[in-house]
C-alpha cells in the first residue's frame, strides 16, 4: 500500500481523485485512510467491503480457477457461462447483445491473467477490508452498488456508506457486478460527485 501511495506523497502533488472497482477498492481505501490530505474524492463501485461474502480469504479452488489456462478454456469453450459468472447477474437477468459485448471486452481485459495479483486479492486484500476503520475516513466518498450483484454485497456497501461520515450511497436496481445497463446513471453520479467541491452531504439515490 505504501508503494501505491508513493506518487501521491511527492511534494508536487497536492490532491488526487481516486476510485476503485470491486477489489481494487482496498488500495484506494488505504490511501484515503493514510493520506487524507492527498485524496480529494473517493469513489467505490460495486466494492468488496466489510461483511461482503467476498471479504474473506478465498478457498484454494477459487484461487486455482483464476489462472490463465482455466480462464482461457472458459472464455473459449463456454463463453456464455463465463460471461454470466463474471457479470454476476441473476438467472432472470436478460443480457442483451450490447451487454454481452461489454462483458466480452471486460473479460478480454483480464488477460494475461496476473496470478500474483489475483492471489493477493484472494488471500490478503479481500479479507483485510474487515479491519479498516471506515469511521475514520474524512474524504468525501461515493459508494455505488447494484441490488442484484451475485458477487459482492449490496447490503455491505450500504452499511459501509452509513459508517463513513457524509458518504453518498447510490443504489441501483439491477445490472449485476458490472452494472450492466446502468452506464448513464453511474456516469452522471460519478461526474456530479467529482464536480461537487462540497460533497459532504448524504445523498441516497435509487434507480
Residue 149, all three cell numbers = 450483484
CB atoms within 10 A of CB 70: 13
Please tell me the predicted confidence (pLDDT) of residue 66: 85
Q: Which residues pair with 141 in a beta bridge?
A: 42
Please tell me the predicted confidence (pLDDT) of residue 25: 73
Which of 160, 201, 205, 148 is closest to 47 using CA atoms? 160
CATH class of 2-52+130-206: alpha beta
Please tell me the predicted confidence (pLDDT) of residue 48: 92
User: 169 and 161 in contact (C-beta within 8 Å)?
Assistant: yes
- Cα–Cα distances (Å) from 204 to 2, 86, 166, 171, in that order, read 33, 27, 11, 7
List the chain domain ranges: 2-52+130-206, 60-118
Averaged over successive runs of 10 residues, the pLDDT of the chain (207 residues) comes to 48 44 72 90 93 92 88 96 96 96 96 89 89 95 97 97 96 97 96 73 43
Amino acid at each position: 500500500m505504501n508503494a501505491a501511495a508513493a506518487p501521491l506523497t511527492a511534494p508536487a502533488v497536492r490532491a488526487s481523485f481516486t476510485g476503485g472497482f470491486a477489489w481494487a477498492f482496498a488500495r484506494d481505501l488505504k490511501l484515503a485512510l493514510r493520506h487524507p490530505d492527498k485524496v480529494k474524492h473517493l469513489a467505490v463501485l460495486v466494492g468488496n467491503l466489510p461483511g461482503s461474502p467476498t471479504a474473506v480469504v478465498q478457498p484454494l479452488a477459487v484461487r486455482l480457477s483464476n489462472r490463465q489456462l482455466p480462464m482461457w478454456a472458459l472464455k473459449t469453450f463456454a463463453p456464455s457461462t463465463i460471461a454470466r459468472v463474471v457479470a454476476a447477474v441473476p438467472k432472470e437477468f436478460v443480457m442483451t447483445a450490447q451487454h454481452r459485448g461489454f462483458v466480452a471486452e471486460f473479460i478480454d481485459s483480464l488477460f494475461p491473467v496476473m496470478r500474483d495479483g489475483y492471489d493477493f486479492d484472494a488471500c490478503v486484500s479481500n479479507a483485510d477490508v474487515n479491519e479498516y476503520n471506515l469511521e475514520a475516513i474524512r474524504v468525501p466518498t461515493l459508494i455505488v452498488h447494484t441490488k442484484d450483484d451475485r458477487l459482492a454485497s449490496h447490503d455491505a456497501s450500504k452499511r459501509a456508506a452509513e459508517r463513513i461520515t457524509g458518504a453518498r450511497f447510490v443504489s441501483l436496481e439491477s445490472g449485476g457486478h458490472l452494472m450492466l445497463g446502468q452506464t448513464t446513471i453511474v456516469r452522471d453520479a460519478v461526474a456530479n460527485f467529482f464536480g461537487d467541491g462540497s460533497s459532504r452531504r448524504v445523498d441516497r439515490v435509487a434507480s
